[in-house]
Copies of this chain bind each other. A is one copy, B any other.
Amino acid sequence: MCAIISSVEKRTAASIRARVRAEMIDEIKEAARRQLATEGANLSLRAIARELGVVSSALYRYFANRDQLLTALIIDAYNAIGAAGESADAAVTERLDLTGRWMAVARGWRDWALAHPAEYALIHGSPVPGYAAPADTVAPANRRVLVVAAILRDGVQSGVLTRARTAPELPPIPAPLNAELKAVSAGLGADADTGLTARAMIAVIEVFGALNFEMFGQLNNTIDERGAWFDLQARAMASFIGLPEG
């Protein structure tokens, strides 16, 4: 905190070293991501080292072990798909066009998934055996959902999304579940009643279910019009949530 930098030379030397180090970390992760695509989540450190033209033990300068590299990839993937949703949302100029924003987010997620299938599988597919996700993955994972919470909040606070408008009634919600939904809404800052929260969560789950079906091959020989099918689903979910049309 104090004595951050004592001279320009020191700062330059130190930061060069840091930059080179960061670049090496990126190269390792990129090689690992390339491997994910062909080999799945069973990363081989030796193969990564080989690809980088380096001896396998050299990687231990950058990651304590295989699991730590895997964790880094998972965090990156959550952040990347989260950022894809966020920037798609941000590109919608009419901020009160809630359906438009929701559609943008959903398509942003899908575009990212199509562009990065292996990383998508890493975070939405089967858990890696013997790997327990550490706590650092929680915040990045939440980014996917925070964008949706922001849409709800903007809708509620502007009055565009009124209780009356949120037409489709849900079945009665038992008290303990209701309390949990309330906590979710509060935690995300959605400012939504539990019915709206539940409907939005269902919509998000449907959209990721749709992506799983598409990415994991369950649509093969059934639906080829994948973009149209995805749009139809996302749009149906917008009205299921109760978002007003744009």
Contacts and interface: CB of A to CB of B under 8 A. Distances in A.
Interface of A: 38-42, 121-122, 124-130, 133, 138, 141, 168, 170-171, 173-174, 176-177, 180, 184, 198-199, 202, 205-210, 212-213, 216-218, 221-225, 228-229, 232-233, 235-237, 239-240
A222 B168 CA distance: 24
The dominant DSSP class at the A interface is helix
A235 to B, nearest CB: 4
Given A42-B42, A199-B236, A212-B209, A184 B222 contact: yes
A243 to B, nearest CB: 12
A236 B170 contact: yes
Contacts of A198: 232, 236
A228 B176 contact: yes
Contact of A171 (B173, B202, B235): B235
A228 B174 contact: yes
Nearest to A209: B209
Contacts of A40: 126, 128-129
Nearest to A122: B126
A223 B205 CA distance: 13
A133 B232 contact: no
A180 B219 CA distance: 11
Given A121-B127, A128-B40, A209-B205, A177 B225 contact: yes
20 contacts: A38-B130, A121-B126, A124-B216, A126-B216, A168-B239, A170-B236, A173-B228, A176-B225, A180-B222, A180-B224, A184-B222, A198-B236, A199-B236, A202-B206, A205-B209, A205-B210, A205-B213, A206-B209, A208-B209, A240-B240
A114 to B, nearest CB: 15
Contact of A138 (B126, B213, B221): B221
Given A209-B208, A232-B171, A125 B216 contact: yes
